[in-house]
Chains A and B, each alone.
Chain A
Amino acid sequence: MESGEFVTRLMSQKDKLYRLAKSMLCDASEAEDAVQDVVERLWVRREDLTAHANLNAFMITSVRNACLDRLRKRKIRQGTNIDEYHGVLPDAGDGTSHEKRDMRAIAEALINRLPDTQRMIIHFRDVEGYPMEEIAGLTGIDEASVRVYLSRARKKVREDLIKIFEYGT
């Protein structure tokens, strides 16, 4: 693959790759490092990449695998303390109420506590909006199981959010 084509394809995907890495690693800086590592590896072997029919999927899978490696190397994160997200959020200056931002931050913290596979699938579907069959292809999990993982993940987040909101009233 020509270097120019590689860069063009990469630039069209880099935000998605970053968001996937961040959803898996729960750390913006480490997510950028992970994507950069993958890009450097792909760059070195860019001439071989022409063989991949779906380069975008290959990039996503590469980032997913890199993140899984990083997760294996670090101890599984302990549960995120929801209290950390109260009252410490910067003012986005976009007119969004503090209450709404807090609610979103709580949802993010709960999603970050999901098991890796559930977190990855909920990201692919609910953040990036991928079709089920594409998620199945990216994760190597059959479509029926993807739906089961997705349903469990959503219900778990809902259950925890309801507990938090009921506790807060």
Chain B
Amino acid sequence: MGHSEHHSENEIRDLLETYFDGGTSLEEEAVLREYFCSLDDIPPGLEYAAAMFGYFSNAAEEIPVNLSFGDDTGGEALPARVKSGPKKVLRTLLIPLVSAAAVLVIVLALNLVKHGGTDGTVYCYIDGVPVTDIETAERYSGMAIEMVSSSLARTIEGVGHPLDEAGRVLEQAMTIPLLQDIIEKL
């Protein structure tokens, strides 16, 4: 048990008082840490110290899970973005984009149901102008979705600042007249 064998409980209690006054040396703090981390049965009234030193001991061994760099061996590679980066981009982007796509589908479907696909059906609005030609509506919808998806792909592959890029892409997506019109009409 190392140091803990050589220190009585009373000595430890005295040392703790000095510790809480900020007066212990690093060596004395190491004694306290070893004492409390090696105990199976914690003396009554010292549970707080066991909790603190247990945490300190654990925290000192903690290592990052997703922090990685482009080259650990000393090459010229730029440090790689952490692996969690793209996940955040995906989470940040996909939720609003999927929502927008769902709204688009619902609006188109509602229009079809409402007008039954007869002549004069308004499938969507582009810059405030009603579109009654289903091919035109589909073409504009496809362009909008393609624009968003290509921006998304560029962002995920990018090495700059993905979250800034995500914000930019979202702003860009919201300027698409078709999406604006749909959202305004909700």
Contact = CB atoms under 8 A, between A and B. Distances in A.
B95 interface: no
Contacts of B29: 125-126, 129
Contact of B52 (A19, A36, A40, A158): A158
B27 to A, nearest CB: 10
B31 to A, nearest CB: 13
Contacts of B67: 14, 18, 32, 35-36
Contact of B59 (A108, A151, A162): A108
B65 A103 contact: no
A151 B24 CA distance: 10
Contacts of A18: 62-64, 67
Contacts of B59: 19, 23, 108, 123, 127
A108 B29 CA distance: 18
B22 A154 contact: yes
Interface residues of A, number: 49
Nearest to B50: A103
Contacts of B74: 3-5, 7-8
A5 B49 CA distance: 41
Of residues A35, A127, A162, which shows the largest number of chain B Cβ atoms within 10 Å of its Cβ? A127
A40 B133 CA distance: 51
Interface string A1-30: 001110110110011001100110000110
Contacts of B19: 154
A155 B22 CA distance: 10
B60 A128 contact: yes
Of residues A107, A128, A157, which shows the largest number of chain B Cβ atoms within 10 Å of its Cβ? A107
A13 to B, nearest CB: 12
A15 B69 CA distance: 13
Contacts of B138: none
A155 to B, nearest CB: 5
Classify the interface of chain A: helix, strand, loop or mixed. Answer: helix
B56 A127 contact: yes
A126 B22 CA distance: 11
B136 to A, nearest CB: 44
Nearest to A160: B48
B177 interface: no
A119 to B, nearest CB: 12
Contacts of A39: 69, 79
A98 interface: no
B82 A36 contact: yes
B15 to A, nearest CB: 13
A158 B64 contact: no
A111 interface: yes
Listed from nearest, the 9 A-B pairs whose CB atoms lie closest are A4-B74, A151-B22, A161-B48, A103-B51, A147-B22, A107-B55, A18-B64, A107-B51, A104-B54
Interface of B: 19-23, 26, 29-30, 47-52, 54-56, 58-60, 62-67, 69, 71-76, 78-79, 81-82, 84-85
Given A32-B82, A36-B67, 8 more contacts: A15-B64, A32-B84, A103-B47, A104-B55, A128-B60, A129-B26, A129-B60, A165-B47
21 contacts: A4-B75, A5-B74, A7-B75, A8-B74, A23-B59, A29-B66, A31-B64, A33-B82, A39-B79, A100-B50, A126-B56, A127-B56, A128-B60, A150-B22, A151-B21, A154-B22, A154-B52, A155-B20, A158-B49, A161-B47, A165-B47
